[in-house]
Amino acid sequence: MLQDSHVIPNFIFKPLRAPGGSMVHVNVDDWKVEKNSDSHSEFLLCEDCEGKISKWEDHGARRLRDLSAFDQKPENEILWTGFDYAQFKLFQLSVLWRAGVAKGPFFEAVSLGPLGENIRRKLLANDPGEVDFCGCIMTGILTEWARSDGFVYAPQLARHKGRYYYNFIFAGVLWIFSANQSAEREMIQWFLQKNGSVPLVFMDVKDLPNAASVLSIIAKNYRST
């Protein structure tokens, strides 16, 4: 029996919820604002697969909590170490794959084609693949007046030098997923490495399209909740 599975892990949404459990949802196409508890879960995974993915999510949650310890300044670059390469890479791959098979409109931009089946097989085999296989560039998001982990963006497709990438925003991080079997040499250095390290740079939230407007709407609505 399929479980009600989160595409973006549930722990990401906990700090976004008001005391009553609702969240503010903003459609940036028409700026329509809604308050509900929808965290974009779908019936996707069996119980065994839920258990498998939850272990990777536990590692991901622990490491993402460490973000607050860094000297976060725009364009500051750090080398983030201490990752379990297999656990965190599988966490990343699982988010990308779940978004690719999800049917809800929040994830409609993600279409992986045959690559999705390749990722699925790797997840089942606990195989994180090589560094350049669907690697992910991580950028910390900074804001002086709202929690950087206080919003989630719907994934968007981007193209660079004929290759496809998907941009996610959650947990105070811009995640740029390569949707490719391999990557250009200049990109690989920014992915999670097998020694458990990943370069991390920071950017101001004002440099994200629509982000400042979204955050101001969220702040206003939470004050009135």
Return the pLDDT at 91: 96
Q: Where are the domains of the chain?
A: 3-223
Model pLDDT for residues 180-193, shown as the tens digit of each residue: 888 888 889 999 99
- Rounded CA separation 98/42 (Å): 10
**82: closest CA among 206, 200, 220?**
200
Strand partners, 178: 165
- Rounded CA separation 225/220 (Å): 9
Model pLDDT for residues 57-110, shown as the tens digit of each residue: 999 989 988 877 765 666 678 899 999 999 999 999 999 999 999 998 889 999
Helix axes 85-101, 47-65, angle to 10 degrees: 120
What confidence tier does 148 reach under pLDDT thresholds 50, 70, 90? low
- Rounded CA separation 186/214 (Å): 33
24 compared with 5, residue with greater pLDDT: 5
3-state secondary structure of 131: coil
Return the pLDDT at 55: 93
Q: Terminal CA-to-CA distance of the chain, rounded, Å?
A: 37
Residue 66 has what DSSP assignment? G
- Rounded CA separation 96/164 (Å): 13
